Structure 1
């Protein structure tokens, strides 16, 4: 009987040992950590690639344009050069329009967009914005001979806007009897005013002041048609590391006055509006 009992105990021990062995060999799935599943940041992609791709509107002088040698130049381009220098990478400026700023970010054709990008809640649903780097209001660019002094003189006339910009919506919000004509670029809208195809162009007042400086037949109305617009860099949604880096870059160039120096270089005056409004 004792031998039988000992045999049963031994069999039981062997069975238990086998169960332990099977348990040790079985892989137990654990939830992946957020860091393991998160997409790599654009910041790391740029550093690894060695090239920063900046979307800039190169038909929007002095923010962005091609110089006489066919190279990108302007206020935004100078800022892009400073950012690339800080990151220790090469700069690639990708010519961008108002209409494809957001699609280019969403499809990763560019890493960041500088193109006179006004922050608003509708755009913030699909992309993210840095802190502002330049502020403006809006006015009208008209011929001096037109007799137009303000938006009040635009009843039953034509205003040129750029496709993909917020300007058309702002004109509609005025509830005036005006015709809105959209163009593919700022230069096309300006040409429409010069050739009499449009009576005025609505755009940021600092951009218009530069255009009037280039052409003595043009002038800018002395008014602020909308509340101040805070323009920023646009980045793909959900990339907090890249957003943090760009915000720190902007803090540094504002604190050092470099941004203000570049603004005066291109517009001939000091920035008119504060980047940090007093509420």
Structure 2
């Protein structure tokens, strides 16, 4: 939705380029696209290679499980024999590899999905962010999400651009400010049930 709004502001035609957490930095550096707008966590490590806009969402880590499965509480996750799925290349993958001491972290790469791994019972839980937790529990009646006792890996989500173009970054920052002020960000966030995590 907001990619369409940005294209409209630029009076440009929107072209969607397939990318992912494991490849978006290389795609930006190779000029395959001008901006990443797919829920990218702005981390200090990533900021060494690309530039981030002001944040538009702020999330932390959630867990998605199967109703009736062996994971019923957050404390059930970090146990021997538990397999926790993460997206390959995500900031959650890096965090969970340090956070989980007993459970096994399973990195899932496209075309496979964490949801399919959970349905097939090859993993016991998906470690993810708020947007994905809401999407999966809305889409699948077998899914439930769990919150940690304290917020883990609180991370701003921002648009990401190639390094070195300050004018483009300034424009994107102004776009973020504008959609916050004119209500478009909240409008689309509510549409996708993301309004609780809109950045101030």
Q: Could you say which residue in structure 2 is the equivalent of 1:57?
A: none
Q: Could you say which residue in structure 1 is the equivalent of 2:196?
A: 272
Give the ranges of 4+ consecutive aligned residues of structure 1 lying more than 4 Å apart after TM superposition. none
Q: 1:143 aligns with which of 66, 72, 75?
A: 66
Contact 1:130 1:243 in 2 (8 A): yes
- Give the Cα separation in 1 of the matches to 2:165 and 2:187: 30
DSSP-derived class of the 1:234 partner: strand
DSSP-derived class of the 2:197 partner: coil
1:195 equivalent in alignment to 2:120: yes
- Give the Cα separation in 2 of the matches to 1:116 and 1:273: 12
Q: Could you say which residue in structure 2 is the equivalent of 1:39?
A: none
1:111 equivalent in alignment to 2:37: no
- Give the Cα separation in 2 of the matches to 1:274 and 1:85: 22
Q: Could you say which residue in structure 2 is the equivalent of 1:43?
A: none
Q: How does 1:1-279 map to 2 (within 5 A)?
A: 78-154=1-77, 155-156=79-80, 157-185=82-110, 188-223=113-148, 225-267=151-193, 271-273=195-197, 275-276=199-200
Structure (1 or 2) with the greater helix fraction: 1
C-alpha change, 1:265 and 1:194, in structure 2 (3 Å) is same
- Give the Cα separation in 1 of the matches to 2:64 and 2:58: 18
TM (norm. structure 1) is: 0.67
- Determine which structure has more spread, i.e. the larger CA radius of gyration: 1
Q: How far does residue 257 in structure 1 lie from its aligned partner after superposition? A: 1.1
Higher relative contact order (CA 8 A, sep 6+): 2
TM (norm. structure 2) is: 0.92
How many aligned positions are there? 197
Contact 2:43 2:91 in 1 (8 A): no
How big is the alpha-carbon RMSD for the aligned residues of Structure 1 and Structure 2? 1.6
DSSP-derived class of the 2:161 partner: strand
